[in-house]
Amino acid sequence: MNQRLEDLAILGGKPTFEHQLHVGRPNIGNRDFFLSQVNEVLDNRWLTNSGPKVNEFERKIEEYIGVKHAIAITNGTVALELLIRAAGIKGEVIIPSFTFVACAHAFQWQEIKPVFCDIDPNTHNIDPLEIEKHITPNTTAIMGVHLWGRSCNIEVLEQISKKHNLKLMFDASHAFACSYKGKMIGNFGIGEVFSFHATKFFNTLEGGAIVTNDDELASKIRLMKNFGFQGYDNVTYIGTNGKMNEISASMGLTSFNSIDSFIAKNKENYYLYKNEFDKIDGIKLIDYSDSERNNYQYIACEIEEQKFGMSRTELIDILIKENILARKYFFPGIHKMEPYRSLYPYSSMFLQETEKLANKIISFPTGTAMDYNSIMLVTNLVSFIHQYAGEIKNKLQEAYVS
Ligand code: T4K
């Protein structure tokens, strides 16, 4: 643990961690089970195209979420594109800017205009009170993103979409195994999308799923993810290749076996971080509601520069030198990235809360790769940095000038 300023790696000391700590370090379930599944896949000589592992994985998701249809897809981004296209969303769609860039790409890729709406600073999710000012005659849909796994204000979004005859869909990439008012996420809107990317707490290497209770929409997506084939030689619809392969589904089945322990570990990590960060002025970890099911997969904090003593960016620069790869999810906001910055240059006017949050958010490493000792080292270091923030900044300034 750093006792002196000179011990900080940014000031010439040895990094706290020999190896890098990552925010998205994958959770790996039972290796033997996974390898036995892979062996079965190889023995079957059925590697993709709705094989037995994908079918089993889809039925497991349906059962877990209590939803009628789960369609396993190559990744979360293609899943979004497919749901958007199958639902006939066109023109303009209202989405938050404070999220991962794929949320906008999935629309813009299909020449649908993403219209960026501000967030509620308390929830980090799309602010329902801001939505109506963005509705135009071209608006056809709203997409909420359950950021950090905390659900959007679904009830109010349903009211708004109903009032204006808009489709409502959700990006639930962060919210697998989470609930809203006791009902599992995945049951809302016309459909919802999960990401099972390696960095998600529940992974299929790469992967995603579309879940819906709409039979017609589900059949359409099943066709579209397989080039529109309805049986051999018969294409009935424009489609793409969005199929999950059998090895990814095997990883999904493996992740299912450990899902409770992954969540328990994330929860334990979350409360360790919370306990320590609550003692430090100027750093606030997001809350998860005790009355909902949560996966606790993000240790997302806000840094109040005045109280903490330095900015989020200054803190991250110091942590990276210590081999703690904390991230600025989701800086700077999609509207400030290309092509959106050039296409929609006036978006900033409506995104004050998004911009404020993007400048103070920081995500810390968690998951099964983190243990008690490493979390205590991280939190003690953050506490030390806070305590000596002024001195550290002066020393960095001196080093910069000389
Ligand atoms: N919607 C939302 C709200 C999303 O957050 C995402 C994805 C999507 C849609 C799209 O879903 P997918 O098409 O991805 O299924 C990462 C992930 O790549 C991305 O899936 C995720 N959101 C986003 C929040 O985070 P990057 O650019 O930060 O990834 P990268 O490569 O920097 O990895 C993050 C950290 O994890 C690094 O420190 C390295 C570490 N890592 C990563 C991988 C892949 C490992 O330790 N092992 C690994 O295997 O986007």
Residues 282 and 367 in one domain: yes
For a mutational test of ligand 1's pocket, the pick from 80, 95, 100, 202, i.e. the residue with the most ligand atoms closer than 8 A to its C-beta, is: 100
Tell me what the mean pLDDT of segment 205-217 comes to. Answer: 98
Under 8 Å between Cβ of 147 and 65 = no
Residue 200: give its domain's CATH number. 3.40.640.10
Minimal-distance CA residue to ligand 1 atom 30 = 24
Atom of ligand 1 nearest to the CA of 206: 15
Residues 246 and 299 in one domain: no
* Rounded Cα distance, 373 and 358, in Å: 29
pLDDT at 3 over 90: no
Q: How far is the CA of 159 from the centre of ligand 1 (A)?
A: 32
Residues 223 and 125 in one domain: yes
Chain segment 230-260, per-residue pLDDT in tens? 989 999 989 999 999 999 999 999 999 999 9
| pLDDT the model gives residue 2 | 56
| Final residue belonging to a domain, choices 207, 232, 255 | 255
Chain segment 76-103, per-residue pLDDT in tens? 999 999 999 999 999 999 999 999 999 9
Tell me what the mean pLDDT of segment 309-321 comes to. Answer: 98
| pLDDT the model gives residue 400 | 76
Residues 228 and 269 in one domain: no
| pLDDT the model gives residue 174 | 98
Number of domains forming the structure of the chain: 2
Domain that includes residue 142, residue range: 31-255
| pLDDT the model gives residue 263 | 98
Q: How far is the CA of 24 from the centre of ligand 1 (A)?
A: 7
Minimal-distance CA residue to ligand 1 atom 5 = 100
Q: Encoding tokens for residue 346? A: 């006036």
| pLDDT the model gives residue 389 | 97
Residues 70 and 115 in one domain: yes
Minimal-distance CA residue to ligand 1 atom 11 = 76
Residues 286 and 397 in one domain: yes
Residues 169 and 267 in one domain: no
Minimal-distance CA residue to ligand 1 atom 24 = 100
The mean of the pLDDT values for the chain is 97
Residues 300 and 321 in one domain: yes
Reported pTM: 0.97
> Where does ligand 1 bind, in terms of residues with CB under 6 Å?
22-26, 75-77, 99-100, 102-103, 145, 171, 173-174, 195, 197-199, 208, 325, 329
Q: How far is the CA of 3 from the centre of ligand 1 (A)?
A: 34
Letter string b/e over residues 136-152, b meaning 16 or more CB atoms within 10 A of that residue's CB: eeebbbbbbbbbbbbbb
Q: Encoding tokens for residue 312? A: 């989020």
Lowest mean pLDDT among 3-7, 24-28, 111-115, 379-383: 3-7
